[in-house]
Structure 1
Amino acid sequence: MGRWSLSSRLALLFAACTAVVSLFAGVLFSRGSEAHFIELDQQLLEDKLIGLRRAVQGLDAEQTQRRLEEELSRQADLALRIKDSDGVRWYDSSIRIPTRLPEMPGISTLSDGDVDYRVLNAPLFPDRPGSPQLTLLLDITHHQHFLQRMQRLIWLTVGLSALATALLGAWAARRALRPLRSMGAIAGNVSARSLNARLPAEQMPTELAELAHSINAMLARLDDAFQRLSAFSADIAHELRTPLSNLLTHTQVTLTRERSPQDYREALHSNLEELQWMAQLVNDMLYLAKADHGLLAPDREPLALAEEVDVLLEFFAPLAEDINVRLSREGEGHLGGDRNMLRRALSNLLDNALRFTHEGSDVRVRIVDEAQRVRISVENSGEEIPADLLPRLFDRFYRADPARQESRGEHAGLGLAITRSIIRAHGGEIHCESADGWTRFLIELPKANQA
């Protein structure tokens, strides 16, 4: 059954259900017909018994026998046997009456060879003690033949109806499963070049519409992921092409002629800077790959956020002094998290704020400690970011606009993507707001995992 098609299974199920229902109905009809025949035979025998009792009332033995023969001659399928009170046979209306007859009073059924009888035992004179016992026999062979033919017809009907239902069920199932085959055909044609294909959910039956919507949603996610992966691959190639080209060019130029050890040392230092930047880029990419596969497992230790932020502000203080930017922190809070990961996330935000703030302005860190969560915001004044670009700030290699792009250096557009991965690994969320000359990165971290 494991390899049978769904249409075959449904057809067999329909056939089995039809066979069971037909057989049940046939058995009920057969039992009902048999009970009806028994009732008719019993009524006929009891009426005949009453007639015989009336016919022989007040007659002597010879008259009684003659009268019984007259009564029985009117119905060929009826026979009679009478025994006296001692059990001695007194009268048989036919020589074909079986030797052994049921002794129990009332009605019963007897088979003798090819002949079936309905038998009724009763006293000839119920009001007299020691009355002779009368046994009436009704030939019901034709009834039994009818019931046997009906049973054969029932079995034939069950078989034919099961076969017909199987064929019709297979046709109906195949027709009903046509949308499913259509779904399979469309899904089979989906490839990296055709992830925009969608199933016609509106044309599907109700039972398949939900599945079609789920598959369409899956295809949309795959399409989005593939587009991101393609763009990501192109961005990696673009980011690595320039430093590799610089390395090749610089090395080739250096090797064009003999140079002094000092020149070679400077060339190696220059190549080293490019290689360090590329190594950092690869490390960041590996970090994001681990985050995408849920492999970032932050440690849980109690953290005083005010202390952690103060450490970072002290680290960035020299850079802030160089560009005349004031650093400040407001509020405090506590939660359980990974110290190194959260420091890296906040460090990326502070570095981003210092790079894009105006000279002589402020960079602020605000901490709000609530019952179930901690809110952290990193704010800097500067040019506002258009609202339609805000959701893309956390994409890899994305820079808000050409005006914000700077020399490559150590910044490859991965800082915010790494920050979001760290925040999400802690069960939190991060988003950006930019209005009224201020840009704010807002972080919400739950306190449920606090150690």
Structure 2
Amino acid sequence: MSRRWSLSNRLALLFAACTAIVSLFAGVLFSRGSEAHFVELDQQLLETQLLGVRRALQDAHGHDPQVRLEEELSRRADLALRIKDADGERWHGSIRIPPQVPERTGLSTLDDADNNYRTLSAPLYPGRPDSAQLTLLLDITHHQHFLQRMQRLIWLTVGLSALATALLGAWAARRGLRPLRRMGAIAGSVSARSLNSRLPEEHMPAELAELAHSINDMLGRLDDAFQRLSAFSADIAHELRTPLSNLLTHTQVTLTRERSLEDYREALHSNLEELQWMAQLVNDMLYLAKADHGLLALHREPLQLAEEVDLLLDFFGPLAEDANVRLGRDGESLIEGDRNMLRRALSNLLDNALRFTPADGEVRVRIVDAAQRVSVIVENSGEGIPADLLPRLFDRFYRTDPARQEGSSEHAGLGLAITRSIVRAHGGEIRCESADGWTRFLIELPKGD
């Protein structure tokens, strides 16, 4: 597998390529502009010399025209002249004129083995059909040498600029990406034992500060989830340790000697109760795990909350009668939800309320129908819950009674956690309030379409 280029190298190469392209483009423009400027200067010079030659011939006044022409041309060592009559016969010509000078009228450029020339051809007497043809030749070899040196300088400048930009770009990229490498080092050091590590946001560039903030939030969520998972695992071990120990001890004691069939049956029945509680605990934990991952499949259907609550009150009626607790319900509403899940959530709340309601107390269920949401309030009279404990009521395995028995086969502390998961699966929220001798669990559910 080929080695991937680093981001610094890519940026450096990109900087070098951009600089080379810009430098080359500027150099080509400068070279073309210089060449056009020289052509313009040469044309002006040749046209001026053309007028001088015509004026010299007109002012000959009996003198030999060729002598006048030689005098005119002697002022410019880089200039040569050729004149042909209307029949194409050469009438005058400098010895430096090469034979391949073009005959066409106008400005042109001629290159031979050693020199470069600019030529200008025009009629000696404009407007006369029998006029001789005059050709001026200007040596521009020094111009071409200058342009060639300039082109070499341009290529050298392009190469050096690209190299310098690549080096400076690599340095700037590595310096600019230093915060990113620092982020990578910190992220690479994060493990289950160091989830409290955070990226420094204060000295980060603006482009990376938001990323660092997002990563810190992610690390915070991972840390919180890991702490919850660790606590959950510890609570599971705590809850299962005592019943497993009881099962082992009871079974060992039963097997120490021969017993009657009735004694064995009683021992198995006792073990069965512990196993049933453990199975229920495992099922509840699996249920919560599915809820945490959004895997609770809701079977939504129209529900009359008043009917559902009345059925549950009838079910808990004998238990309330034995405890001398009054049950009541107010209000009604129609919602869409999963019947079995909502019954389980309300059953957990009613069971919890009955356990903490003293004799001659009261448990009420109030249904408040609003425009978009429905509130279900399960409240009971009795001793209140301290305000500092209210946020922890929905934690798994949490019990408000500090004197609870470890591994008790009743009320493992998952009921309220399951209730919250069911409510949230329906798109609602639940909270608890405790004041003035009443404890209230308030459920808010959307009414649906």
TM-score for the superposition, normalised by structure 2: 0.95
1:313 maps to 313
Rate the CA distance shift 1:137–1:36 in 2: closer, same or farther, 3 A.
same
Q: What SS class does the counterpart of residue 413 from structure 1 fall into? A: coil
1:57 maps to 58
1:259 maps to 259
Rate the CA distance shift 1:447–1:130 in 2: closer, same or farther, 3 A.
farther
1:168 Cα offset (Å)? 1.4
Q: Aligned partners of 2:97, 2:210: CA distance in 1, in Å?
A: 76
Q: Aligned partners of 1:103, 1:354: CA distance in 2, in Å?
A: 118
| Mapping for residues 9-408 of structure 1, pairs under 5 Å | 9-59=10-60, 63-105=64-106, 107-126=107-126, 128-402=128-402, 408=408
2:417 maps to 417
Q: Aligned partners of 2:289, 2:112: CA distance in 1, in Å?
A: 91
1:443 maps to 443
Q: Which amino acid aligns with 2:316?
A: F
Q: Which amino acid aligns with 1:12?
A: L
Q: Aligned partners of 2:334, 2:401: CA distance in 1, in Å?
A: 36
The runs of at least 4 aligned residues of structure 1 exceeding 4 Å deviation read: 403-407
Which shows bigger deviation, 220-229 or 370-379? 370-379
Rate the CA distance shift 1:87–1:363 in 2: closer, same or farther, 3 A.
farther
Q: Aligned partners of 2:225, 2:216: CA distance in 1, in Å?
A: 14
Q: Aligned partners of 1:227, 1:355: CA distance in 2, in Å?
A: 31
Q: Deviations over 1:295-340 (max 9, x none)?
A: 1120111111111111111111111111111111111111211111
Rate the CA distance shift 1:275–1:227 in 2: closer, same or farther, 3 A.
same
Q: Deviations over 1:172-194 (max 9, x none)?
A: 11111111111111111111111
Q: Aligned partners of 1:35, 1:353: CA distance in 2, in Å?
A: 99
Give the number of equivalent residue pairs: 448
Q: Deviations over 1:138-197 (max 9, x none)?
A: 111111111111111111111111111111111111111111111111111111111111
Q: What SS class does the counterpart of residue 399 from structure 2 fall into? A: coil
Q: Aligned partners of 1:240, 1:160: CA distance in 2, in Å?
A: 75
2:82 and 2:97 in contact (8 A); partners too: no
1:89 Cα offset (Å)? 3.0
Q: Aligned partners of 1:272, 1:28: CA distance in 2, in Å?
A: 95
Q: What SS class does the counterpart of residue 402 from structure 1 fall into? A: coil
Q: Deviations over 1:27-64 (max 9, x none)?
A: 11111111111121112112211222211114379722
Rate the CA distance shift 1:321–1:407 in 2: closer, same or farther, 3 A.
farther
Q: Aligned partners of 2:37, 2:434: CA distance in 1, in Å?
A: 92
2:105 and 2:122 in contact (8 A); partners too: no
TM-score for the superposition, normalised by structure 1: 0.95
Rate the CA distance shift 1:406–1:310 in 2: closer, same or farther, 3 A.
farther
Q: Which amino acid aligns with 2:232?
A: F
Q: Aligned partners of 1:128, 1:436: CA distance in 2, in Å?
A: 126
Rate the CA distance shift 1:428–1:345 in 2: closer, same or farther, 3 A.
same
1:2 Cα offset (Å)? 7.8
2:358 and 2:382 in contact (8 A); partners too: yes
Which shows bigger deviation, 178-187 or 112-121? 112-121
Q: Aligned partners of 1:343, 1:355: CA distance in 2, in Å?
A: 18
Q: Deviations over 1:98-130 (max 9, x none)?
A: 33415033x222222332211212222235453
Q: Aligned partners of 1:158, 1:441: CA distance in 2, in Å?
A: 77
Rate the CA distance shift 1:336–1:98 in 2: closer, same or farther, 3 A.
farther
1:95 Cα offset (Å)? 4.3
Rate the CA distance shift 1:60–1:25 in 2: closer, same or farther, 3 A.
same
Q: Deviations over 1:197-244 (max 9, x none)?
A: 111111211111111111111111111111111111110001000100
Q: Which amino acid aligns with 2:104?
A: E
Q: What SS class does the counterpart of residue 411 from structure 2 fall into? A: coil
Q: Aligned partners of 2:141, 2:353: CA distance in 1, in Å?
A: 107
Q: Aligned partners of 2:238, 2:88: CA distance in 1, in Å?
A: 120
Rate the CA distance shift 1:72–1:380 in 2: closer, same or farther, 3 A.
same
Rate the CA distance shift 1:404–1:194 in 2: closer, same or farther, 3 A.
same
Which shows bigger deviation, 81-90 or 439-448? 81-90
Q: What SS class does the counterpart of residue 371 from structure 2 fall into? A: coil
Q: Aligned partners of 2:103, 2:253: CA distance in 1, in Å?
A: 126
Rate the CA distance shift 1:5–1:304 in 2: closer, same or farther, 3 A.
same
Q: What SS class does the counterpart of residue 202 from structure 1 fall into? A: coil
* Unaligned segments of structure 1, at least 5 residues: none
1:82 and 1:91 in contact (8 A); partners too: yes
1:102 and 1:108 in contact (8 A); partners too: no
Root-mean-square deviation (Å): 1.9
Rate the CA distance shift 1:8–1:102 in 2: closer, same or farther, 3 A.
farther
2:80 and 2:96 in contact (8 A); partners too: no
Which shows bigger deviation, 118-127 or 276-285? 118-127
Rate the CA distance shift 1:183–1:102 in 2: closer, same or farther, 3 A.
farther
Q: Aligned partners of 1:383, 1:142: CA distance in 2, in Å?
A: 110
Rate the CA distance shift 1:138–1:288 in 2: closer, same or farther, 3 A.
same
Q: What SS class does the counterpart of residue 113 from structure 1 fall into? A: coil
Q: Deviations over 1:60-100 (max 9, x none)?
A: 79722221111112212111122223443322122432334
